[in-house]
Amino acid sequence: MTDVTIIENADDMRIADWLAERLSAVMASREGPVTITVPGGSTPFPIMERLLQRDLDWSRLVVWPGDDRIVPEVHPASNTGKLRVLFEPAGVEVVTLTEMEAVPHFDLAWLGMGADGHIASLFPNTDPQVDEPRAILRLTPDPLPPEAPFDRISLTLPSLLSSDAIVFVMRGADKREIFESALAGKHDLPVARLLSAAKQPVTCFA
């Protein structure tokens, strides 16, 4: 496992600044598209709104949802639909996850984490593996979260690990405890499996 940097008490603006600096550095280092994967849920979207206020060449950015609920993109529960509304007016390309999609190497994998240790839609019951041969999976969380009782489509652990850097953004003492226990090897939840296999820099805003 690589070293992990934990940054405490960072507000949305500071996280957006960090992301903008990271994207700017990648864009300055080479030509062509810059590809990231991002989480859904309530926490990241205010950060994304602040990020888009930065002066970057947004036409070079390609955004992949790390996962989505299997609903039409016009459905309120669709991560992809929300990402399109937010990013596409700025010229960003937003990808729709399908099981046949060829997944690229990501310049940055931005992740959240649930209180049960799940990342993307890799819930504990799905038993995600770091040697999973598939890049994208359709799966069913068990139990289904009551706020989003839908089947999911998700990037797998190898897809998330195929990235130059990983950043987590999480809120709450319960999630912080799960994350630190994962770092200490005290459980085998999906987040622990990802961290144990990570070779790239990992930053956690907690």
Domain CATH code at residue 104: 3.40.50.1360
- pLDDT above 90: residue 85: yes
Alpha carbon distance 54, 103 (integer Å): 27
Label each residue of 154-188 as H, E or C.
Answer: EECHHHHHCECCEEEECCCHHHHHHHHHHHCCCCC
| Peptide bond preceding 133 in cis form (omega within 30 of 0) | no
Domain count, the chain: 1
pLDDT, mean over the chain: 94
| Residue 37: CB atoms within 10 Å | 27
Give pLDDT tens digits for 142-173. 888 888 899 999 999 999 999 999 999 998 88
Average pLDDT value for residue range 68-93: 96
Give pLDDT tens digits for 41-72. 889 999 999 999 999 999 999 999 999 999 99
Range of the domain at 22: 4-205
Predicted structure pTM score: 0.95
- pLDDT above 70: residue 1: no
Structural tokens at position 25: 């550095």
